[in-house]
Amino acid sequence: MNKITLLMHCNDQSGIIAAVSNFIAENNGNIIYIDQHVDREQNIFFMRLESEFETDVLDLEHLKNAFKSTLVKQFSMKWRIYTSEVQPKMALFVSKYDHCLYDILGRYKSGELNVHIPFILSNHLDLKPIADSFNIPFYHVPVTKDTKPEAEAKQLELLKEHKVNFIVLARYMQIISPKLISEYPNKIINIHHSFLPAFVGAKPYHSAYKRGVKIIGATSHYVTEDLDAGPIIEQDVARVSHTQSIDDLIAKGRDLEKIVLANAIKHHLNRKVMVFNNKTLIFY
């Protein structure tokens, strides 16, 4: 059984769902999931659809060309079709914090994530033993102010060599360059803490503790040139109280980071995310 996922958006107009459903039926497909949303303010129609095909070999290129020459042209659609036969490749970028890395690799090893990890890259050597224990190649690419261009060139070389589809920054403590972002638009996933009010600097949990915050959180988003302001994929929060120490806040925050990042990766892998104007639609 071959399965595809279709993501599309266009100006809202009559007949889109009927036309797409008929197209799938005419090509011997069976729709097993469909969801849609209309942004009334901008008059944009969004849809996510999953379909199964009973053919032994699905001619994906023929299907894409047929869809493009008919419905895409008719409705002026922006669209993507993905097949379940292709397993995405995900590179992990890390620094010294290990909690997100351990969590991702544990889920990967157990088969929870339908993805291949060709390598782990870091600007430090601290986490190499973890990569070795999971038998995943580890590349040490140091980054300094003077060597940043060379480091970026090496990163891009590795990403192209291994045909990586997307990147996860599992607490990678370096700013991603515009060049790398342009090569992987909406394909670099980051994770960081979330506070209201915002606490910047090297020790945000210490600042939050001193202010007596009642809620801490984590946010996962796609990376853009605007630092920590890319389209949000997943968020979560936890309540804290005056009885908890700074270490308690840090531990709780790291738990949130692990869960939020894992869910963001799953949303991306399952093609549940659509980005429009720096905002995401998540089809749960």
Domains of the chain: 2-83 (3.30.70.260), 90-282 (3.40.50.170)
pLDDT value for 142 = 96
**What are the phi and psi torsion angles at 177 (to 5°)?**
-75, 155
The pLDDT tens digits for 70-117 are: 999 999 999 999 998 889 999 999 999 999 999 999 999 999 999 999
pLDDT value for 139 = 98
The widest CA-to-CA distance across the chain, in whole angstroms, is 63
Residue 174 to residue 147: CA distance in whole angstroms: 13
C-alpha closest to that of 256 among 283, 234, 282: 234
The pLDDT tens digits for 176-209 are: 999 999 999 999 999 998 876 678 777 888 888 9
pLDDT value for 153 = 96
What's the CA angle centered on 8, arms 6 and 11, to 5 degrees? 155
Do you know the residue count of the chain? 284
The parts of the chain modelled with pLDDT lower than 70 are: 196-197
Tokens of residue 106, six digits: 């544990």
Tokens of residue 16, six digits: 């889109």
User: Which parts of the chain fold into alpha helices (H)?
Assistant: 16-26, 60-67, 73-75, 99-109, 128-133, 148-161, 178-183, 204-211, 246-269
Catalytically annotated residues: 228
pLDDT value for 162 = 98
Q: What is the DSSP letter of 199?
A: -
